[in-house]
Every structure is written in C-alpha cells, then in structure tokens.
Structure 1
C-alpha cells in the first residue's frame, strides 16, 4: 500500500476529524529503498477518543499488514506539547516532511534543543543494549546476524544524524551524507555501515561477507560513536 492510498482510506474513515497526514523519514528524504524501507506517517486528528481510533483502525491495520509501522497519532495540542520529550524525532520530521493531506502542522513547531543531548545518549545506549540482547538469540547464524544488522541500521543512522546536530552544523537530509559528516568530527570508518546497507539492499548476501567480523566492527563503531557523544555532552556541561 502506498501512502496516497492510505490517505484516501483515512479520509473515508474519518472525514470530519482528520486534520493532517504527513509523510516523513526516508521516503521524504529521498533515500527510501523500495521493498526494503517502510513508509512513516504522522496523522493529526481533531480528537483521539475511542470512536476516532475505532474509525481509523481498519486503514491503519491494512497499512501495518503491508509492512509499514502504524501511523503516529496526535491531536494538534498534543503534538505541540511533545516537542520537549521527542526533540530528535520532531526535529527530523520538521526538517524533512511532505504533507499528503490537510494543514502543515509540523512546520510551525517550536523545538527547544536543550533536551536533545539527553535523548540522543539515552536512545543510543538503549539501542546498543538491545542490539547485544538480540545477538544472544541469533545462535551466531550468519543470516540471523546479518538480519540483526540490517534491521537496526536505519535506527542507528537516524541517531547518528541527530548526533551531528551537537556540532552545530547544517544536517544533511540523507542519512549516509550525515554519517559522512559525523565521521569528520568523530573519526570513525563508515565502511561498515555501507556494507550493512549493501546487505539490506541485497546487493550483497551474507555468504559474501564475513558476518561475524562485520558485526564485531559494527558493534565497536557504534560504541565509539556513543563514547564520543558522551564525552562531548559532558564536556559541554
């Protein structure tokens, strides 16, 4: 299901309550990988009571069954109130989004970046912990380990892109361009992430690379970025 189809179904399901539907993420940034990347959608409704949720549940379920994450759901007031809690996500959405329906309720969001540092470190450390936990369940099988890397890659690239904001420069919309820019500050090798991306795009297969060695480097490089971000944060404090 394409985003435009979802919009039509949301409009039919909630004709009076739908205020805005926004596409964000890789599809809006131009680095969407067909059949490998999902579509990210933000929906703003007049209210999110049970009757509205029930009305939107059928198109949202079909959307999720097509392999996409369920839409983010906000009212306009709740969206504005969330800027201090989700600075990474809302800054990314604000800077790169496409309005598919209704008003642009994202562009005018006021986001104070003082909470950005804490969220970056919290998210990076949490994702690293879960990465290690998930590895324990792979049985060291090359395909399972490769899948673990490809499934986690986008999340880490988003967080690395957010980390680039700490250095006060313009942040490229495309994640790998942001990765290259961050490597200029933290001096790490981006090659491991490019190899994982090739696995994700299926231009390389797990049998074509030393998966165990690749995962080891992947893990160490993520740790390197976390340590550098942590040092930068505490230096700033």
Structure 2
C-alpha cells in the first residue's frame, strides 16, 4: 500500500517553527508573490517568504537551518533573511522586488516591516534598466545553448516568463499609479501605453500551466515571437526611462 503524500508546510507553520527556534529574536515573516497576488499555480508555484530577525549571526543561522531545510524540501526557495537595519537599507538596492512585495504581501508573523518603506525614483529606474537589458541578454545566450532541444527550449520560455512579467509590471509604474497585482493583468495594462504583442506571453503561460511540450519547430516558432515581443517592450520602456522627469509610481 502506498504511503500518504506528506502535507506541505504552510507559511504559518513555518513561521511558528522559526519562532520556536529563535525565541524573542524573530520579528516578522511576510508571505509575498503569487500566493498572495492571485496567480498561484498549484504544482508549479512555490511560497515566497521574507523573514526579519533581530540579528543573523552564526547561532541564529544554525538555529533556523533545520526549519529552513524542511521548508525547502517542499520545493520552496530559501526565505530572504534580513535584520531590521539591513531591510531598511535595502530599498535603494532592490526597489523593484521590495515594491512588489509591499504591494502583494500578507504578514504571517509579527509586525509589518514594509509599511513605512520609501523607494527613490532614480533607484527604481536604474534597476529596471539594468535588469531588463541583463535578462534579455541572458535569454538570447540561453537560447544558443538549447535551441535544438524542444524540451529545453520550452523550459527556457516557461522559466523566464515570470521574471519578465515582474519587470514589465515594474515598467508599468512609469506610466500609471494603479498597478495590477496579477502579472498578466499588468501586462494588459502596459499594452494601453506602448505597442506590444500579448499572444506570445499568453501561449507561454498556457504552456507553463498545462506542462505541455511542443515539437521542435513549434517551440522555435513560439520562441521567435516571444523574443521579439520582449525586445519590443524592453525598447519602449528604455525610451521611457531616458525621458527626463518621469518618476515611477511607487
């Protein structure tokens, strides 16, 4: 008789385990990402957590290592770990990530560490420009390494989709203040400001949800349209960034 499948640890259970391992030192545990935004895909998406601890020396890291290892066995990434001071100083280094977390978050333990965080416009523009161009370069490079393998090419598209949609949602902040939390809805909103092709992103999203694989020629054809659509958006956002006086809405 087959054994029962182990129940996945919930964010609340993980936070409780951490609080027991770090008595008096755990300040906050914040759930963010697709589990809060509404585009969580069971079996594909994972839980994302931001954890704030009074200090993060060797004793604290050793103390939480067992709970984190169990958390990662469920397929989740390791949580982002900050001290309160480090988190306060991180807004200018990672404004895109932290602005997204602040927009779609649920505090599962302790105080809300993001409610008073302020993001500077220049930092947002600088990171957006760097990330967009860097991810586009990486996408082209990865294609060269897998362009003759249908399965690898499909994985390249589905694995990169979320990253590009997050960056495009950040780009939407250059145009409007109301930002949809669901990434595909943000892309639709961006289409109201710049010319872009939605269909390649919809097809890659369907590919990701259905776990479907394509024949090589089908995968190459879709990748060509996907790459062209990304290039079009990156160019438009880059032009917008270069216009003086445009401040992101954060």
- TM-score where L is the length of structure 1: 0.95
Q: Which moved more, 1:110-119 or 1:201-210?
A: 201-210
Q: Which residue of 1 aligns with 2:187?
A: 179
Structure 2 residues not aligned, in runs of 5+: 1-7, 246-250
Q: CA deviation at 1:87?
A: 0.9
Structure 1 residues not aligned, in runs of 5+: none
Residue 215 in structure 1 maps to residue 218 in structure 2: no
Q: Which moved more, 1:112-121 or 1:170-179?
A: 112-121
Aligned counterpart in structure 1 of residue 156 of structure 2, from 145, 148, 160: 148
Residue 26 in structure 1 maps to residue 38 in structure 2: no
Q: Which moved more, 1:155-164 or 1:131-140?
A: 131-140
Q: CA deviation at 1:215?
A: 0.5
Q: CA deviation at 1:149?
A: 0.6
Q: Is the 8 A contact 2:30 2:105 kept in 1?
A: yes
RMSD of aligned alpha carbons: 1.6
Aligned counterpart in structure 1 of residue 63 of structure 2, from 51, 55, 67: 55
Which aligned pairs between 1:1-237 and structure 2 lie closer than 5 A?
A: 1=8, 2-202=10-210, 204-207=212-215, 210-236=218-244
Q: Deviations over 1:127-146 (max 9, x none)?
A: 11111222222252111100
Q: Is the 8 A contact 2:150 2:213 kept in 1?
A: no
Q: Is the 8 A contact 2:34 2:45 kept in 1?
A: yes
Q: CA deviation at 1:217?
A: 1.0
More helix by share: 1
Q: Which moved more, 1:72-81 or 1:1-10?
A: 1-10
- For the residue of structure 2 that corresponds to 1:34, the secondary structure is coil
In 2: Cα distance, 1:118 partner to 1:229 partner: 12
In 2: Cα distance, 1:169 partner to 1:105 partner: 22
Kindly report structure 1 stretches of 4+ aligned residues shifted beyond 4 Å.
none
- For the residue of structure 1 that corresponds to 2:180, the secondary structure is coil
In 2: Cα distance, 1:47 partner to 1:13 partner: 13
- For the residue of structure 1 that corresponds to 2:16, the secondary structure is helix
In 2: Cα distance, 1:210 partner to 1:139 partner: 12
In 2: Cα distance, 1:223 partner to 1:168 partner: 21
- TM-score where L is the length of structure 2: 0.90
Q: Is the 8 A contact 2:157 2:223 kept in 1?
A: yes
